[in-house]
Amino acid sequence: MLPQPRQLLRRSLRAGALATAFVAATLPAGTAQAAMETEEGRLAFDELRTFADVFNQIRQGYVEEIDDSTLLEYAIEGMLTGLDPHSVYLTRDAFEDLQTTTSGEFSGLGLEVGMDNGLIRVIAPIDGSPAAGAGMQPGDIILKLDNQPVKGMSLGDAVAKMRGPKGSEIELTIGRAGQGRPFTVTLVRDVIKVASVRERWLEPGFGYIRISQFQKSTGEDVGAALERLQAEETLKGLVLDLRNNPGGVLGASVDVAGLFLPGGQVVYTEGRLANAAQSYDATPEDATGGVPLIVLINGGSASASEIVAGALQDHGRAIIMGTGSFGKGSVQTVLPISEDRAVKLTTALYFTPSGRSIQAAGIAPDIVVERARLEALSEEGRISEADLVGHLANGNGEAEGGSGSAGGASALLGTDNQLYEALTLLKGVSILGLRRAPATAESVAAKEPAAE
């Protein structure tokens, strides 16, 4: 049955009153009426009245009754979804999850994800997590969660569904480039304790630091890792591994870059708001003393990882190796709208010291090294001069038959070719640096034969 004219008039009046209330709430006190008298103000009023009409039609005619607060939350979520993948509406639970993630411990699968055309795309699995153990890869598309399509699901709802108590299972349907059909993988949720920094020796003198995520204390943790390495032996070169690092706290990325720079700008931001224009500088001291540095990145390196790589690349401090990074160069600001709700809104863009925008472009490596599976060819049966009968002795008095050893590099060849190439280049840069060292009177005297 169609509504009677009197009912339509009553609804229109209610809608107009609601629109007026919206306008008054969004403008400073005393300026709502003045704004409505301008052309832009009339446009805003008309659009808000349209919104109020739609709001009223839904609350009156939708097949199921929905309370006004829920409808307004849907409207807010819809507004933010239409902006960009990183602007989201935070309820109390979502805001607590955000704080938990940056603190370094939560229960779930260990995936950093983002929205991509209504589907959930994996940015990077977290080291040591169930997702990493199951072989999840950057770029994977999550199509279903426990056989429920994620199309139409908000990012917050999808993340909430993936979170859960330790030991519980969830089935993910995954689409992967180069794979013919979607496949399923069952993951067991666990408490994700993100150890953001790990260090070790690749070979004597050549260190390795892995940063899996930028947390509040990551700068301090990298500084401590450098101290531990340098306390054991002289550091000749370092590999900083930022592959599959989804980013995190901006301040931590500035701290980490500052450990390898003698000062200067790390990153700056620009946006519409006056306070969106910020510049962040490194502390004036290189904690490594300027040793050769190689930074590894790939498609899973995002946000804070790209800030570090971009700063070190622009300052000529490091060689960037691997594949192009993710390209997440936007700044999100958490804006409280009540005691238990907030909006995470994109308010600015990141720029490297040379003025490059990271957004949707990423960081291009200086040397491209694709991930590949390599195998060393055996040289068994090879004959050298030392094997020949009657060969001349070594005139320098050195042991015969020594061909050198690849050391830790050989172990990396079949497991991580990108790290293998980084170590090889690092050793080459270090050797070249030593050979180019300026001659001193002492070094020349040491090479001259002693007088008889």
User: Which pLDDT does position 28 carry in this prediction?
Assistant: 43
Q: Percent of the chain, pLDDT > 90?
A: 50
Q: Where residue 441 falls among pLDDT bands split at 50, 70, 90? A: low
198: helix, coil or strand? strand
| 444: DSSP letter | H
Select the more confidently predicted residue: 390 or 346: 346
157: helix, coil or strand? helix
User: Which pLDDT does position 10 carry in this prediction?
Assistant: 43
- Please report the domains of the chain, with CATH numbers, ordered by start residue: 5-66 (no CATH), 105-193 (2.30.42.10), 197-368 (3.90.226.10)
**CB neighbour list of residue 83: distance below 8 Å, 6 or more residues apart:** 345, 346
d(CA 175, CA 172): 10
Residues 20-37 as b/e (b if ≥16 CB within 10 A, e otherwise) read bebbbeebeeeebeebbe
146: left (phi over 0), alpha (psi -120 to 50) or beta: left
Q: What is the pLDDT of residues 115-154, one digit of tens each?
A: 777 788 888 787 788 998 999 988 899 999 999 999 888 8
Question: Which one of 11-15, 97-101, 124-128 scores highest in mean pLDDT?
Answer: 124-128
CB 344 within 8 A of CB 332: yes
Q: Where residue 17 falls among pLDDT bands split at 50, 70, 90? A: very low
Select the more confidently predicted residue: 19 or 300: 300
Select the more confidently predicted residue: 28 or 253: 253
Four-residue CA torsion sign, 271, 274, 276, 278:
positive
> What's the average model confidence in pLDDT over 175-200?
88
**In 3D, which of 321, 323, 325 has the Cα closest to residue 426?**
321
Question: Tokens in use for 250?
Answer: 């901006």
**In 3D, which of 192, 228, 238, 35 has the Cα closest to residue 100?**
192
As annotated, the active-site residues are 303, 314, 328
Q: Where residue 211 falls among pLDDT bands split at 50, 70, 90? A: very high
Question: Tokens in use for 77?
Answer: 């979520």
d(CA 105, CA 97): 10
Identify the helix (H) or strand (E) that includes residue 246: none
CB 315 within 8 A of CB 290: no
- The mean pLDDT of the chain is 83
pTM: 0.74
User: Which pLDDT does position 407 carry in this prediction?
Assistant: 56
Q: What is the pLDDT of residues 68-97, one digit of tens each?
A: 989 998 999 899 988 998 898 988 777 766
Residues 137-146 as b/e (b if ≥16 CB within 10 A, e otherwise) read bbbbbbbbbe
User: Which pLDDT does position 363 carry in this prediction?
Assistant: 98
